[in-house]
Amino acid sequence: MAGKEKKGVRLDHISKIYTDPKTGKPFYAVNDVSLDIEPGSFVTLLGPSGCGKTTTLRMIAGFESPDAGEIYLGQEAINALTPNKRDTAMVFQSYALFPHYNVFDNVAYGLKLRKVPKAEIEKRVAAILELVELSGMESRMTNQLSGGQQQRVALARAMVVEPSVLLFDEPLSNLDAKLRVSMRTEIRRIQQTLGITAVYVTHDQAEAMAISDKIIIMNKGVVAQMGTSEEIYHHPNSEFVADFIGEVNFLSGDIIEAQGDSCTLSIAGHPVQVANPDGFPVGKQCKVVLRPEAGILGDSGALPCKVVLSCFMGAYQNYHVMVGDTLVKLADYCPVGRKVYRVGDTAYLSFREGCVHML
């Protein structure tokens, strides 16, 4: 997409109020959300259903109007623009292909509206179809295509108009699991090739982590956390985020000693050394965020625990252990050659260095 300046998207204190159809009371579907999406980056809005992610996306597209705040595309405020006047293109969950057009006409639709000369339309459609690996299928009707192919037509149709921003509304949720994985790689590859700004909505955390430069986790209309996948996985800022991304255990403890960026916690009466980058003071009640793969079982260690479940899952040995009254789920990857604990065994839990995080 030579010659076209890349544009970012900025949301400035955006809110959207809906009326609850059951109670008739207004509520915030999106509440004071501010985002700055850099040009050329791939940003994912992730969250449970009803968290406001799709509403946010539809406000960027122009289908919904924000009740407060302003949306900028590049430097331009676009609140009052109708969807057809905005330089965005959306890929819908249902693909929303035109069933009465063939593949070529579907993809060419936006170009025809922009009064692009016929020869150029043909050139550009051919190029984009090659990019999505659908060359030769121009004259097929959309219902002759498989789900994955339809998905790629939808993608081509959105990209061919060279929008400043590509919007994706759960585009993979209608595909089967295997196809979903290969399509998300595909989408990422094409986005990188074109260097186009993309906003992607999904509730599938694996998809979000695989595809994005930056993830924005939303909950109940507000942004819970934003950051790279690593930041969000390893340093969640709330129980909600920790719980939403991946499997997690929470261990409560009190800080009994703090020195520099490390501290000693008392968990179920046992002292444990944990990194303390935020400098929490002594006496603070904390929660340790322990991912299943961040805990190590051994014959010695800080926290004595009792094994209540042990089963072989192929890639890892799955343990459930009781630390005091807390059930902790652990995954011991590649257990070959290591000791396998049985139900009823007593073991000691220690934390992999740098892999636990305190809230």
Partner 1 sequence: MKSRQGAALDRKKFFADPVMVVTIVLLTVLLALFILYPLAMLLLDSVYVRETTLVPLESVLSGEAEASYGQDKATGSRTVKVVNNKKTEQAISLDDLSGSYGFLFASNGRVLKEGEEVDPAATFVKVNASYWTADAFPRIFADYTFNRAFFNTLQLGMITSFGAVIVGLLFAYVDCYVRVKSRVVKKMFDVVSTLPVVSPPFVLSLSMILLFGRGGLITRQLLGIYDSDVYGLSGIAIVQILTFFPVCYMMLKGLLKNIDPSMEEAARNMGAGRWKVFTTVTLPLMLPGLGNAFLVTFIESVADFANPMMIGGSYDTLATTIYLRITGGSYDTTGAAAMAVVLLGITLVLFLIQKYYLEAKTAATLTGKASRARVLIEDRSVRVPLTAICSAVSAFVIMMYIAIPFGALFKLWGRDYSLSLKWFQQLFRDDGFKAFGDSLLLSLIASPITALLSMIISYLVVKKKFRGKAFIEFVSMLAMAVPGTVLGVGYIRGFAGGVFRTGFLQGIYGTGLILVIVFVVRSLPVGTRSGISALRQIDKSIEESAYDLGAGSAKVFTSVTLPLIKDSFLSGLVTTFVRSITAISAIILLVTPRYLLITCRINEFAEKGAYGVACAYATILIAIVYAAIVLMNLCIKYFGTSRQLRRKESD
Interface residue list for partner 1 (CB under 8 A): 15-17, 26, 28, 61-69, 79-86, 88-90, 92-94, 96-100, 109-110, 113-114, 141, 143-144, 154, 157-158, 161
Question: Is the Cβ–Cβ distance between 42 and 188 less than 8 Å?
Answer: yes
Q: How do beta strands 295-298 and 285-290 pair?
A: unpaired
Question: Token pair for residue 139?
Answer: 């004259």
Question: Is the Cβ–Cβ distance between 349 and 307 less than 8 Å?
Answer: no
| Rounded Cα–Cα distance for residues 344 and 181 (Å) | 39
CA angle 334/338/339 to nearest 5° reads 130
CB of 75 to partner 1, least distance (A): 19
**111 vs 303, beta carbon nearer partner 1:** 111
**106 vs 264, beta carbon nearer partner 1:** 106
Torsions phi, psi of 89, nearest 5?
-140, 135
Question: Is the Cβ–Cβ distance between 71 and 213 less than 8 Å?
Answer: no
CB of 338 to partner 1, least distance (A): 51
**97 vs 289, beta carbon nearer partner 1:** 97
Residues 6+ apart with CB under 8 A from 312: 318, 335, 340
**114 vs 338, beta carbon nearer partner 1:** 114
| Rounded Cα–Cα distance for residues 309 and 321 (Å) | 7
For residue 190, the tally of other CB atoms under 10 A from its CB is 20
**64 vs 207, beta carbon nearer partner 1:** 64
Question: Token pair for residue 214?
Answer: 């930056």
CB of 216 to partner 1, least distance (A): 21
CB of 52 to partner 1, least distance (A): 14
**28 vs 280, beta carbon nearer partner 1:** 28
CB of 188 to partner 1, least distance (A): 22
| Rounded Cα–Cα distance for residues 187 and 42 (Å) | 10
CB of 65 to partner 1, least distance (A): 4
| Rounded Cα–Cα distance for residues 27 and 29 (Å) | 6
**90 vs 232, beta carbon nearer partner 1:** 90
CB of 34 to partner 1, least distance (A): 16
Question: Token pair for residue 278?
Answer: 């935020």
